[in-house]
Structure 1
Amino acid sequence: MGMTMSMCTMFSDTTPIGIILGKQIFYLTGYNDSSMNALICECLLGSLSSGILIYMAFDRHLQFIEVDLFHNKAISSKPWLKKASYTALVIGSASMSVLALWS
């Protein structure tokens, strides 16, 4: 719970600061969004931020998946239950990827 609260606090603190900083840079530099340098910067910053979000999501969720699938005695003792769990995990991941196409 502590990690989630600190992430929420950091997000709520850094988002307005980033918006203010971006507006100031836009105002001072006369930002032209159709220039090649601006497009490259947008792509690099977008990929960096999405990479951080993907890392945080996988890191947190893979810890839970590891505990559920590898350290759970009920799942480890029944091979069919382990196969069903893996299948549900793959189907869930695939369906979330398909949903991401519309977002």
Structure 2
Amino acid sequence: MGYMLNGEELETGEEDFLLEANFSDEIVPVIAAAEGIKLNDDHWTVVNFMREKYKEDGSTPNFRNMLAELDDLHPGTDWKKKLYELFPNQPARQSARVAGLTKPYGKGGY
């Protein structure tokens, strides 16, 4: 199953991750809808964070590093709780998928 964006099907692979990262903001609501997620500002905070990490490192952070870095950038939020509210199906993986990124390395946890 691919995602349709402006009449073009974007190819997906294992676990419905895009085979090539797509940084268009238009893809995020398409994938979020497929995941059953109704986007809000907090979702976009995480999506933009994941995209920046991907651009900087060529991959996304594991869950533990994600928590630490989000806490540094946006202190005062219980990010572990918040991430599971926003992305209940493995937050590190699901947020990367919704952000239009490729499949993360490893298990997505620690």
TM-score bin (small chain): under 0.3
TM-score (norm 2): 0.25
Please identify the structure whose Cα radius of gyration is greater.
1
Q: Does 1 or 2 have the higher relative contact order (CA < 8 Å, sep 6+)?
A: 2
Structure number with higher helix proportion:
1
Structure number with higher strand proportion:
2
